[in-house]
Amino acid sequence: MSKLGKLLKRIYCAVLPKSEDLEEVLSLNAKADLAKLFFFADKTREKFCGNGIVLRGIIEFSNFCQRDCFYCGLNKNNRKLQRYRISKLKLFNAVKYLVSCGIQTVVLQSGEDLALDAAWLGDLIKEIKSNFNIAVTLCVGERKARDYKIWRLAGADRYLLKIETSDEKLYSSMHPRMDFKNRLNCLRVLKELGYQVGSGNLIGLPGQTLKNIAQDIIFFKRNDFDMIGIGPFIAHKHSQFAGKENGDVGLVLKTIALTRIVTKNAHLPATTALGSLDRDYRLEGLKCGANVLMPNFTPQAYRKLYEIYPQKRCVNEPVGACNFCMDKMAKKIGRFIDYSKADSFKGRFLI
């Protein structure tokens, strides 16, 4: 077996992989080496997740945010951005449309909107769950444990709260007035409440090292997350990181591949950010470990206002267009779109 083959096998078999091993793979650049890595990751994906590409329809229902994360276009200091909140009726109708397209998971995402009332969202979740047989995923940031509980009791199934970077120092340097420990605590509470929990990181953050990324992958493994979203950092001109270099797509793909090899059966999306660089790299993501796509179902009028980063994909497409596009993507690589709810592969949610 080649040296790289042995290295990959060691990473695959480890209870917890060694940081140095991961860093060595992250620094590979030769074409043949990358092909080997991606092939290994793709096989791991096939073995643990099958050939279905699962869909998560996303609705971005508010772009108000109380935070000022250095990388994000929704940061509260961005006064150029017109803010919106979608009414409950419009939101419900967007969900109805998503269901009519055959999608069985809705991701309700917003900035950390201080005005987001827990009971309001709880009622909406109840309404969705009593009308449609779909999974509800929330992505609304750090909240009090009692809010997470209200939403879980209302029927929410999953929660995404990316760590962005697992390095406390790096995290603090780009998240003013936020507390890394509180984020970890939120993740713990979410898990205890029985949510399927998603994490993830940004690749190419200013100041981030390969070691940081290796540690992120170890963090994902340690916490056994159900879902992990990995995407490139893309500089936004109305953020603190304006003018910084974007994340490197090759490094994103290597991180997805390694995360697949290490975590085996976590749901890994080919993120929208990966589709928003100089061209669409989501297909490459799907070929090196990813098994999820996230079609956008935000009503057209609001899409361009949810500008986390510039040149975001599918902003001008009509609602529902993503579905066809994704079918095409799947066919191109001999896979198929799996329209089921696609719960966690971790098997903790079968009761």
Q: Could you tell me the sign of the dihedral formed by the alpha carbons of 252, 253, 254, 258, in that order?
A: positive
- Helix (H) or strand (E) run with residue 52 in it: strand 52-55
- Give the pairing type, strands 158-160 and 135-139: parallel
Q: Which is nearer to ligand 5AD, 225 or 233 (CB)?
A: 233
Pick out residues in 12-71 that bind ligand 5AD (CB under 6 A): 71
49 binds ligand FES (CB under 6 A): no
Euclidean distance between CA atoms 307 and 324, whole angstroms:
23
What tokens were used for 225? 């997350």
Q: Which member of 45, 162, 267, 335 binds ligand 5AD (CB under 6 A)?
A: 162
Minimum separation from the CB atom of position 314 to ligand FES (A)? 3
The item of ligand 5AD, ligand FES, none sharing an interface with residue 322, based on CB under 5 to 8 Å by kind, is: ligand FES
Pick out residues in 305-344 that bind ligand FES (CB under 6 A): 313-314, 317, 321-322, 325-326
Minimum separation from the CB atom of position 234 to ligand 5AD (A)? 4
Token pair 């060691």: residue: 10
Angle between the N-to-C axes of helices 145-154 and 118-131, in degrees from 0 to 180, rounded to the nearest 10:
20
The item of ligand FES, ligand 5AD, none sharing an interface with residue 326, based on CB under 5 to 8 Å by kind, is: ligand FES
Q: Is 278 left (phi over 0), alpha (psi -120 to 50) or beta?
A: alpha
Length of the chain equals 351
What tokens were used for 246? 């974007």
Minimum separation from the CB atom of position 170 to ligand 5AD (A)? 14
Minimum separation from the CB atom of position 120 to ligand FES (A)? 29
User: Residues in the site for ligand 5AD, rule: CB under 6 A?
Assistant: 71-72, 162, 164, 202, 231, 233-234, 236, 273, 308-309
